[in-house]
Chains A and B, each alone.
Chain A
Amino acid sequence: GAGVSQTPSNKVTEKGKYVELRCDPISGHTALYWYRQSLGQGPEFLIYFQGTGAADDSGLPNDRFFAVRPEGSVSTLKIQRTERGDSAVYLCASSLTSGNTIYFGEGSWLTVV
Chain B
Amino acid sequence: GIQVEQSPPDLILQEGANSTLRCNFSDSVNNLQWFHQNPWGQLINLFYIPSGTKQNGRLSATTVATERYSLLYISSSQTTDSGVYFCAVERPDSWGKFQFGAGTQVVVTP
Chain A hits for B45, CB < 8 A: 101-104
The verdict on A58 contacting B97 (CB below 8 Å), with A42-B103, A43-B86, A100-B48 known, is yes
Residue A41 interfacial (CB < 8 Å): yes
Chain B hits for A104, CB < 8 A: 35, 42-45
Instruction: Contact check, B99 vs A45: say whether CB atoms are below 8 A apart.
Output: yes
**Interface set, chain A 84-113, CB cutoff 8 A to B:** 89, 91, 93, 98-104, 106-107
Q: How many residues of B contact A (CB 8 A)?
A: 24
Residue of A44, A45, A58, A106 most packed against chain B (CB within 10 A) = A45
Instruction: Contact check, B102 vs A41: say whether CB atoms are below 8 A apart.
Output: yes
Please classify the interface of chain B as helix (H, G, I), strand (E, B), loop, or mixed, using the class held by over half of its residues: strand
Instruction: Contact check, A106 vs B95: say whether CB atoms are below 8 A apart.
Output: no
Residue B56 interfacial (CB < 8 Å): no
Q: What separation, in Å, do the CA atoms of A56 and B100 have in the docked complex?
A: 16
- B17-61 vs A, CB cutoff 8 Å, 1 = contact: the mask equals 000000000000011010100001111110010000000000000
A12 → chain B, closest Cβ, in Å? 17
Chain B hits for A89, CB < 8 A: 41
Instruction: Contact check, B102 vs A98: say whether CB atoms are below 8 A apart.
Output: no
Q: What separation, in Å, do the CA atoms of A106 and B50 have in the docked complex?
A: 25
Q: What separation, in Å, do the CA atoms of A12 and B12 have in the docked complex?
A: 34
Jot down 14 A-B pairs with beta carbons below 8 A, ordered by A: A35-B100, A42-B88, A42-B102, A42-B103, A43-B88, A43-B100, A44-B100, A45-B98, A48-B95, A58-B97, A102-B45, A102-B98, A104-B35, A104-B44
